[in-house]
Amino acid sequence: MKIDSSLMFEPSKVRVMAPQLEEAGFDGAYTFEGQSDPFIAVAAAAMTTRKMELMTSVAIAFARNPMNLAYLGNDLQNLSGGRFILGLGTQIKAHIERRFSMPWSRPAARMRELVQAVRAIWDCWDKGEKLDFEGEFYRHTLMTPMFIPPQSEHPKPPIYIAGVGPLMTEVAGEVGDGFFLHPFATEKSMNELSLAAIGRGLSKAGRAREDFSVAAQVITATGLDDKTLEESVFGARSQIAFYASTPAYLPVLQCHGWDDLHVEAKRLSKEGKWMEMAGLVDDEVLNTIAVVGTPAEVAGRIAERFKGRVERISPVAYAPDVELLAELCREIRAVVKQ
């Protein structure tokens, strides 16, 4: 099981933090579409690391088009020396239409076609095939030699898809190389919702589970001292409450009969009472969704929940301290090797 960490910073900080994470022993690191472009951050990390895999987790697919993504994937794969993973997610309708001013409809079907279109463009470049992709959402039928990148010594990057709902998760199993398991998940929801849907997608495409990777992110509350741990626990409660207020994540709560938590969290979010929302997350909810404790305790709980079920694990910690992350990485690696 590979161990990843986050690079959720603006690019100038990423170029400093990335080699520190590599030195700490992490197998991979991911950037995020938040206050910066995730592809720029990957480029910054690629130029200051040598062996760590780099991925977007996630880039917003529908804010771009397949041709944009094909060029970005190709360039970052070359820049990183073959260490890039193209991770895509959908965001929600309001952001796609009102923040990015892009079309939204049937997201699972659109994501399937977008991935197929990106691969059709790559096949055109690498195999000399005529570009003739015509779908419901995307049409790519023009590619002249002037715009074909030089042949690369590296294969095209894997494409991972993030999702929560069953349709998008099935699409990941059908057309993706991997799946990003959302940190708002429990062992029960992972098994009953996510892994089951991936299995259906793989079956639809006639693919084997061994040819697919699941990258799990898990909310992690830990610290090297009591004060840091306490602050991290509050951060985890707040993050869980935020996710609980969002209708898209309700199925995770429903797995445990926690529908009322969603109702209350949504009410407080609409009233702007963000600080009060953390109080809704009791210890049962906290420890079912997050992993909590010292780095050694967290490592044991991660292994218990994920070992044998996923190929990559990323502890989403709330204290971006390299010493803490390095200790966490060492503890997880020691446990998963047992």
pLDDT tens-digit readout, 180-232: 999 999 999 999 999 999 999 999 999 999 999 999 999 999 999 999 999 99
- Is 216 a member of any domain? yes
Cβ atoms of residues 320 and 328 within 8 Å: no
Is 335 in contact with 248 (CB distance < 8 Å)?
A: no
With a cut of 80, say whether residue 143 has pLDDT above it. yes
Looking at the predicted structure, is the pLDDT value of residue 139 above 90?
Answer: yes
Domain CATH code at residue 171: 3.20.20.30
Name the residue range of residue 162's domain: 2-225+311-336
Between strands 133-134 and 139-140, the pairing is antiparallel
pLDDT at 317 over 90: no
Q: Over 70: is that where the pLDDT of 235 sits?
A: yes
Average pLDDT for 271-282: 94
Whether 206 is in a domain gets the answer yes
Q: Is the pLDDT of residue 8 over 90?
A: no
Domain annotation covers residue 169: yes
> Does residue 260 lie within any of the structural domains?
no
Confidence of residue 320 (pLDDT cuts 50, 70, 90): low
183: in domain: yes
List own/partner pairs for 227-236 with CB under 8 A and 24 or more apart.
228/319, 228/321, 228/324, 229/293, 229/294, 231/318, 231/319, 232/317, 232/318, 232/319, 233/286, 233/292, 234/278, 235/318, 236/286, 236/290, 236/292, 236/318
Read off the pLDDT of each residue in 165-169 and give the average, rounded to a whole number.
Answer: 95
| Within a domain: 268 | no
The mean pLDDT value for 233-252 works out to 94
pLDDT digits (tens, 9 = 90+) for 57-110: 999 999 999 999 999 999 999 999 999 999 999 998 999 999 999 999 999 999
Query: Percent of the chain, pLDDT > 70?
Result: 99
**Domain-located, residue 290:** no
pTM over 0.85: yes
Maximum CA extent, the chain: 61
Domain count, the chain: 1
Residue 101 per-residue DSSP state: -
Give the DSSP letter of residue 33.
Answer: S
In a domain, 135, yes or no: yes
Residue from 205, 183, 204 nearest 194 by CA: 183
pLDDT band per the 50, 70, 90 thresholds, residue 319: low
Q: Which two tokens stand for residue 1?
A: 């099981």
Q: What would the mean pLDDT of 115-139 be, rounded to a whole number?
A: 97
